[in-house]
């Protein structure tokens, strides 16, 4: 009984599963049966593959019109969706008829959508699929031609970029490839892609006058990957500071760059010829953004949201209290765990989300309330102010590491015209890189990279504070000033401050700075001078 097997992949979020496409072509009632929990989109592959094979002008490549074709997508209990199964189904059908050499499908992955004329079309998620294949020992991949460079980002994999099913057949047979029209890229990819690096290279910390307290908070957040909340009246500089965080973040490492590029591949945001994303992304969705666009989801295939696309970078949520209540509450899990899980019926997808989340809020709805000066400019009642502030307090605020209250820069805080100017982003980035290198050495072989991602129990057992610092932190917890979660975040902050100061272990001074960063208390001027 003629049976052939081709290999492709199914994506559950960012996780790829190998799928064996087993095809049996035998005597029986003429027809095509597709089994293995395929959705409606995938069920249509039967018709696409039939017409693609019929219109492929290659000798011996014909659709079995007088036989029964049974297609099994194994494992059969795993839900499957997408059009990228087409190419694997087509070559498996040809292999079952003997139109391809018996062993040419072994160790090979086939990814691509077929047109009725036999051409190939680009599909989203090629990079994470190739990464999953490489992790399972498969080293040969066939993909649509525009996505060959994307698949080639995975080291050690031989990539064949093809234009048509006819070219795939000839390559597997080892004969000269026929001519075929170019494959069009995915429509709309350029609209989804992140292209903000050029803009943020122009945003330098040297443009920020004064605000030493907030600048130091930004440095700590960037060095340890800590979440940050900025509050203050309108015009105080919240957006100005947030836009400059990408400029002090180091270039992404190879593993981080591959993860980020894979997420953008899943979102369909990579154009042909795009290189691996090596700089930290920045996303600032509007406060009217839906839960699905921010966290991920959608109808049919689950796509990553802005939170995941900002992985290893910055997600800036300006006017945070104006976001919908369900969006605010949904941030609890990713702020705590560094990943987001989306469940849709029987489908569940998990995406990484280990970026720096920066929240910004005014002290009141009108933005003019300034408790240190006067209430004359504020038009809000005390009740409205309380209701507004309640949206950024509680469980979500408890998951934010650093809180800073900004005030407009006063005249005496502006540097002298002929004196030394503010530090540039490049100068601060040098210290951030040095602090991150210390963390990479300390956490070598772990599943996390930065202090802001380290689990609390591991920190307490393997990376403790000094005895005096521990007693200070315990006292803050016992008095109720800190929750247990808050104590863990102070512990993480203390390690980041120690890394910036080149200390081998956080002491009482580092814990004091971490407590002030956590609670929003102003930092001492001596602290800022020593850390500069």
User: Greater confidence, 259 or 365?
Assistant: 259
Model pLDDT, residue 195: 43
Number of domains composing the chain: 3
168 and 210 both lie in a single domain = no
**Which of 187, 214, 243 is the last residue in one of the domains?**
187
| Domain housing 173 | 3-187
d(CA 152, CA 54): 31
Helix 425-442 / helix 212-224 crossing angle, nearest 10 deg = 40
Output the six-digit token pair for 484: 């247990």
Q: Percent of the chain at pLDDT above 70? A: 89
H or E stretch covering 159: strand 158-162
Chain-centroid distance, C-alpha 392: 24
Q: In the structure, what pLDDT confidence band is assigned to residue 196 with cuts at 50, 70 and 90?
A: very low
459 and 488 both lie in a single domain = yes
Output the six-digit token pair for 198: 């050029």
Does pLDDT of 367 surpass 80? no
Which string of DSSP letters, residue by residue, matches 208-252? --S-HHHHHHHHHHHHHT--EEEE-STTSSHHHHHTTHHHHSPPP
Model pLDDT, residue 194: 45
113 and 232 both lie in a single domain = no
- Write the CB contacts of 118 (distance below 8 Å, at least 6 apart in sequence): 52, 53, 55, 56, 164, 165, 166
12 and 136 both lie in a single domain = yes
250 and 131 both lie in a single domain = no
How many beta carbons lie within 10 A of that of residue 101, not counting itself?
12
For 102-107, what is the mean pLDDT? 89
Please, what is the Cα angle at 410 between 406 and 412, to 5 degrees?
A: 130
177 domain-assigned: yes
Does pLDDT of 297 surpass 60? yes
d(CA 206, CA 366): 30
- Alpha-helical regions (H) of 21-125: 40-43, 45-54, 86-96
158 and 42 both lie in a single domain = yes
Q: Closest by alpha carbon to 194, among 260, 123, 288?
A: 260
208 and 159 both lie in a single domain = no
Does pLDDT of 504 surpass 90? yes
Range picked from 95-99, 185-189, 479-483 for highest mean pLDDT: 95-99
d(CA 341, CA 348): 7
Mean pLDDT of the chain: 87
Place of tokens 């659709």: 63
Helix, strand or coil, per DSSP, at residue 142:
strand
pLDDT tens column, 403-455: 999 887 765 556 655 555 678 999 999 999 999 999 999 999 898 899 999 99
160 domain-assigned: yes
Does pLDDT of 57 surpass 80? yes
Does pLDDT of 457 surpass 80? yes
484 domain-assigned: yes
For 132-160, what is the mean pLDDT? 94
How many beta carbons lie within 10 A of that of residue 436, not counting itself?
22
- Write the CB contacts of 338 (distance below 8 Å, at least 6 apart in sequence): 352, 353, 354, 448, 453
Buried b (16+ CB within 10 A) or exposed e, 23-58: bbbeeeeeebebebebeeebeebbebbbbbbebbeb
**Which of 416, 433, 452 is the last residue in one of the domains?**
452
415 domain-assigned: no
| Contact (CB, 8 A) for 79 and 14 | no
User: Greater confidence, 374 or 44?
Assistant: 44
400 and 458 both lie in a single domain = no
440 domain-assigned: yes
d(CA 449, CA 446): 7
Does pLDDT of 532 surpass 60? no
**Which of 152, 187, 222 is the last residue in one of the domains?**
187
398 and 512 both lie in a single domain = no
419 domain-assigned: no
28 and 150 both lie in a single domain = yes
Output the six-digit token pair for 218: 């930004």
pLDDT tens column, 332-358: 889 998 989 887 766 778 888 999 999
For 189-198, what is the mean pLDDT? 44
| Contact (CB, 8 A) for 168 and 162 | yes
For 281-300, what is the mean pLDDT? 86
Helix, strand or coil, per DSSP, at residue 127:
helix
- CATH number of the domain that 53 lies in? 3.30.230.10
| Contact (CB, 8 A) for 203 and 248 | no
How many beta carbons lie within 10 A of that of residue 300, not counting itself?
12
- Write the CB contacts of 516 (distance below 8 Å, at least 6 apart in sequence): 522, 523, 524
Model pLDDT, residue 33: 92
d(CA 245, CA 213): 15
Output the six-digit token pair for 100: 């391809």
Model pLDDT, residue 408: 76
Q: What are phi and psi of 509, to 5 degrees?
A: -65, -40
169 domain-assigned: yes
SS (H, E, C) 426-441: HHHHHHHHHHHHHHHH
Rg (the chain; Cα; Å): 28
412 domain-assigned: no
Helix, strand or coil, per DSSP, at residue 520:
coil
For 224-234, what is the mean pLDDT? 92
Q: Any long-range contacts for 430-435 (C-beta under 8 Å, 24+ apart)?
A: 431/219, 431/223, 431/500, 432/219, 432/222, 432/223, 432/248, 432/249, 432/250, 433/250, 434/499, 434/502, 435/223, 435/224, 435/496, 435/499, 435/500
Please, what is the Cα angle at 265 between 260 and 269, to 5 degrees?
A: 100
119 and 7 both lie in a single domain = yes
Q: Closest by alpha carbon to 88, among 7, 170, 4?
A: 7
| Contact (CB, 8 A) for 296 and 328 | no
383 and 523 both lie in a single domain = no
CA distances to 52, 92, 99, 174, 202 from 2, rounded to whole Å, are: 21, 11, 11, 22, 63
Helix 126-135 / helix 254-266 crossing angle, nearest 10 deg = 130
DSSP tally for the chain: helices H, then strands E: 24, 18
d(CA 77, CA 36): 7
Does pLDDT of 275 surpass 70? yes
- CATH number of the domain that 251 lies in? 3.40.50.300
Model pLDDT, residue 364: 80
Does pLDDT of 9 surpass 90? yes
Model pLDDT, residue 423: 87
Does pLDDT of 223 surpass 90? yes
């Amino acid at each position: 009984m003629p049976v052939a097997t081709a290999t492709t992949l199914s994506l559950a979020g960012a996780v790829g599963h190998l799928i064996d496409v087993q095809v049996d072509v035998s005597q029986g009632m003429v027809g095509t049966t597709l089994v293995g929990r395929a959705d409606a989109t995938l069920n249509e592959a039967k018709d696409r593959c039939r017409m693609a094979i019929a219109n492929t002008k290659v000798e011996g490549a014909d659709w079995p019109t007088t036989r029964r074709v049974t297609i099994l997508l194994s494992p059969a209990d795993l839900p499957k969706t997408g059009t990228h199964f087409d190419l694997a189904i087509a070559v498996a059908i040809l292999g079952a008829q003997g139109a391809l050499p018996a062993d040419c499908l072994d160790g090979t992955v086939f990814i691509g959508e077929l047109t009725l004329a036999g051409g190939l079309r680009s599909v989203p998620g090629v990079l994470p699929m190739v990464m999953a294949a490489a992790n399972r020992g498969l080293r040969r991949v066939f993909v649509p031609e525009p996505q060959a460079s994307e698949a080639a980002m995975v080291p050690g994999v031989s990539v064949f970029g093809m234009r048509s099913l006819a070219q795939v057949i000839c390559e597997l047979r080892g004969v000269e490839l026929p001519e075929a029209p170019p494959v069009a890229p995915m429509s709309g990819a350029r609209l989804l892609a992140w292209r903000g690096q050029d803009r943020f290279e122009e945003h330098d910390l040297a443009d920020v006058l004064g605000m030493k307290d907030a600048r130091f908070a930004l440095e700590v957040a960037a060095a340890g990957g800590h979440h940050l909340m900025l509050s203050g009246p309108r015009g105080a500089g919240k957006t100005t500071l947030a836009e400059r965080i990408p400029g002090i973040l180091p270039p992404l490492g190879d593993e981080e760059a591959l993860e980020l590029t894979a997420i953008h591949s899943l979102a369909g945001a990579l154009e042909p010829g795009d290189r691996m994303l090596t700089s930290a992304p920045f996303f600032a969705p509007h406060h009217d953004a839906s839960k699905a666009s921010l966290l991920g989801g959608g109808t049919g295939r689950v796509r990553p949201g802005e939170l995941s696309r900002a992985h290893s970078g910055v997600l800036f949520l300006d006017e945070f209290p104006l976001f919908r209540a369900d969006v605010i509450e949904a941030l609890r899990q990713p702020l705590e765990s560094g990943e987001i899980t989306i469940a849709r019926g029987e489908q569940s997808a998990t995406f990484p989300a280990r970026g720096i989340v920066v929240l910004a809020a005014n002290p009141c709805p009108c933005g003019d309330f300034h408790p240190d000066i006067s209430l004359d400019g504020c038009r809000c009642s005390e009740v409205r102010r309380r209701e507004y502030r309640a949206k950024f307090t509680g469980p979500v605020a408890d998951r934010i590491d650093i809180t800073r209250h900004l005030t407009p820069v006063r005249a005496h805080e502006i540097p002298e015209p002929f004196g030394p100017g503010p530090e540039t982003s490049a100068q601060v980035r040098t210290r951030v890189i040095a602090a991150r290198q210390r963390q990479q050495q300390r956490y070598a072989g772990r599943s996390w990279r930065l202090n802001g991602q380290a689990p609390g129990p591991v920190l307490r057992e393997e990376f403790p504070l000094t005895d005096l610092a521990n007693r200070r932190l315990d006292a803050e917890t016992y008095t109720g000033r800190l929750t247990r979660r808050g104590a863990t975040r102070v512990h993480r902050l203390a390690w980041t401050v120690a890394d910036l100061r080149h200390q081998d272990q956080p002491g009482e001074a580092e814990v004091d700075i971490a407590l002030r960063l956590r609670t929003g208390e102003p930092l001492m001027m001596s602290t800022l001078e020593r850390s500069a």
